[in-house]
Amino acid sequence: MKKTLVSALTSALVIGAASTTFAAANPFEDVPADHWAYDAVAQLAADGVIEGYGDGTYRGDQEITRYEMAQMVARAMAKNNVSGADKAMIDKLAAEFADELKNLGVRVAALEKKVDNVIWKGKVRYRYISRSENNTRGHNQKVNGLLFRLEPQATINKHWVGKARIDYNSNTEMNDAANINSVTVDRIYVEGTYGNTKIYLGKFPNKTQADYGMILDDRMAGGKVVFGKDVKVSLAIARYDMNGYGAFTRGGNGEGNGMPGSTMNLVANDTRTASYQGIEIYNDRAKRFTWGVGYHHLSNKAAFNNIISAGKNNVNIWEIGLGYKFDKNLNLTAAYARANSLKGVFDENKHKQSYAFQLNYKGAKASDKGSWGAFLAYRHLGDFSTIHPTAKEFGPQNGGEKGWEIGVSWTPFKNVLGKVQYYSGKEIFTSNKVHAVWTELNFHF
C-alpha cells in the first residue's frame, strides 16, 4: 500500500471533515504549509489520529503497512463526534482491516495486562500496647509502634502469583524513650492455584485452621499444599525460626522457661530453628457448623535440649476445633490442643494442654465504612501446646497464660480501621497477674 498523502488520508480525512476548523500549527517539518493536504494532516495530528515519527516527520511518500492503517482506523473509531457518511466510511474501513484491528486489540489487551501485572497494597499502622505483670520484677511495658507495610503481588501466569510483605517498624518504649527501627521482608513466596488445590512455596504465612489459630499464626519457610472443596486437607513441611517470637516460652517475654523441676532450657532469643511438619483436616470455614482436627510435629535436638523424657527432643501437638454460626452476625468457636508427655516439667498437665472459647459479633471491614465488630474470649494457652497463636500475633495475650479478653473494632472511614482489646489473666506457671491493653489504627491502601 503506497503511503502517498492521498492514500494515507483516504480514511483519515473523514475525521478532518467532521471538524469545524483546521489546525494552523505545522505538526510535521516535511509537510509544508503550502502543501494541498497541509490542513488535513494538521487536523488529524491534533485529533490524535496520526502521530508521525519520532524525528518530527510524517514521511507521506513512504509505503504504509496494513497494521499502520489499522492503527489510524482504530483511532478514528475511538472518536465520539463522527456520524452519518463519515461513520459509514469508517465502518467500511473497519471491515477491510478487521484482522489487523483484532490483532491490535490483542496486543493492546496484552499490554494492559502487563501494566496491571503487579498490584501494590499495604497499610500504615499505629499501635499502642500497655502491659503490666504483677510479679517480683514489676514488669511494666508501654510501647508505641509505627509500621509501614507494602504487600506487592505479581501475576506469573494463570496459575501462579508471587507475593511478599515488606515491613518498616519503628517501636518506642515510652518509659525509656528508646527507639527500635527495622526493615524486614516478613514474607516472600509463590502461590499456585489449580482448581480446589492451593500450593505455597517460600517464606509463607501459616495459620492453623482447625483450631481457628489457637496453636499457630506465623510465618514459616518451606511449602504447604491445601486441597479439597467442602472438606480440606492441609499438608505442610517447613523450618520454623523461634528467634524472638516467643514460641514455647513462658509468657513470651524472652525470659526463658527454665521451670522448677524441668530440664527445659530453650530461650526466646535462641537462633536455632525447628523442623516442622503439620497436617490438618477441616471443613469449609463458610459453613454454619465448622470442625477440624490436626497434628503438628516440631523437632530440634539442640534447641529443645532433651526436654522430653527418655532423651526425646521433639514436641507433638494434637488439636480439635468446633464452631457454630447462630446467624450472619453471631458465631461461637471452641478449640482444644494437647502436647505429648512433658515428664520432668513442673505442673506438666497445665503446660501440655490448651483450650479456648470465643464469641464473635459481626466484624469490621476496612472497605466498609461504619462496619464494626466485637468479641469475648477465654483462653488457657499452655507453654508446649501452643507455638505462636493468633492471640499473641494480633492481641495482648501471650503463650503460657490464661485469662479473659474482650475487643471491639470499627471502621469510621473507608480504609481506616481501628481496634481496642483488653486482656486480664495470669501466667500459668507463676500465677502472676497480667493486664494488657492493645490498640491499633490502620490506614489501608
- Which is more confident, 163 or 245? 163
| Mean local confidence (pLDDT), 350-357 | 90
Q: Report which residue type is found at 84.
A: G
Q: Tell me, letter by letter, the H, E, C secondary structure of 99-160.
A: HHHHHHHHHHHHHHHHHCCEEEEEEEEEEEEEEEEECCCCCEEEEEEEEEEEEEEEECCCCE
Q: Which are the contacts of 287, defined by CB distance < 8 A and separation ≥ 6?
A: 230, 325
Percent of residues in the chain assigned helix, strand, coil, to nearest 5:
20, 45, 35
Q: What is the pLDDT of residue 93?
A: 73
pLDDT-wise least confident of 88-97, 142-151, 176-185, 347-356: 176-185
Residue spans of alpha helices (H) in 28-97 = 38-46, 66-78, 84-96
Least confident of 13-22, 24-33, 93-102, 377-386: 13-22
Domain ranges in the chain are 5-113, 124-444
Strand 314-325 to strand 289-299: parallel, antiparallel, or no bridges (unpaired)? antiparallel
With a CB cutoff of 8 Å and minimum separation 6, the contacts of 114 are none
352 vs 411, residue with greater confidence: 411
How high does pLDDT run on average in the chain?
A: 79
Q: Say yes or no to pLDDT of 188 above 60.
A: yes
Residue 72 backbone phi and psi in degrees, to 5 = -65, -40
Residue 364: pLDDT over 50? yes
Distances in Å between the Cα of 121 and the Cα atoms of 153, 165, 202 are 8, 10, 20
Flag whether pLDDT at 252 surpasses 50. no
For residue 255, the model assigns a pLDDT of 38
Task: Please give the share of the chain, as a percent, with pLDDT higher than 70.
Answer: 71
For range 177-188, the mean pLDDT? 78
Which of 100-114, 245-259, 311-325 bottoms out in mean pLDDT, i.e. has the lowest? 245-259
- For 254-263, what is the mean pLDDT? 34
Q: State yes or no: pLDDT of 343 exceeds 60.
A: no
Spatial separation of the C-alpha atoms in residues 7 and 400, rounded to whole Å: 83
Q: In the structure grid, which three cell numbers stand for residue 113, read together?
A: 495486562
Residue 10 pLDDT > 60:
no
The pLDDT-based confidence of 11 (bands split at 50, 70, 90) is very low
Q: How far apart are CA 211 and CA 204, in angstroms?
A: 19
> How many CB atoms sit inside 10 A of residue 101's CB?
20
Share of the chain above pLDDT 90, in %: 46
Confidence band of 40 (pLDDT split at 50, 70, 90): low
Does the pLDDT value for residue 7 go beyond 80? no
With a cut of 70, say whether residue 289 has pLDDT above it.
Answer: yes
pLDDT beyond 90 at 285: yes
Kindly state the helix (H) or strand (E) to which residue 407 belongs, with its residue range: strand 401-413
Q: Choose the most confident range, by mean pLDDT, from 9-23, 202-216, 264-278, 310-324.
A: 202-216
Q: Residue length, the chain?
A: 445
Q: Tell me the three state secondary structure of residue 22.
A: coil
Residue 397: its pLDDT value, please? Answer: 92
Judge whether residue 162 has pLDDT over 80: yes
The whole-number average pLDDT for the span 343-366 is 83
The per-residue pLDDT for 430 is 82
Phi, psi of 46 (to 5 degrees): -65, -35
Q: Are 215 and 317 in contact (CB under 8 A)?
A: yes
Confidence of residue 222 (pLDDT cuts 50, 70, 90): very high
**377 pLDDT band (50/70/90 cuts)?**
very high
* 16 pLDDT above the threshold of 60: no
- Predicted TM-score of the model (pTM): 0.69
Topology annotation, domain 124-444: Porin (2.40.160)
SS3 (DSSP) at 244: coil
Contact call for residues 204 and 224 (beta carbons, < 8 A): yes
* pLDDT: which is higher, 181 or 203: 203
Q: Region 21-30: what's the mean pLDDT?
A: 59
Residue 93 burial class via C-beta count within 10 angstroms: exposed 0-12, middle 13-18, buried 19 and up: buried
pLDDT value, residue 310: 42
246 pLDDT tier (thresholds 50, 70, 90):
very low
Q: Where does the pLDDT of residue 14 fall: very low under 50, low under 70, confident under 90, or very high at 90 and above?
A: very low
Q: Lowest-confidence range among 49-58, 122-131, 285-294?
A: 49-58
Here the contacts of 185-194 (C-beta below 8 Å, separation 24 or greater) are 186/219, 187/163, 187/219, 188/163, 188/164, 189/162, 189/163, 189/164, 190/156, 190/160, 190/161, 190/162, 190/163, 191/160, 191/161, 191/162, 191/163, 192/159, 192/160, 193/159, 193/160, 194/159
Q: Which residue has the higher pLDDT, 83 or 216?
A: 216
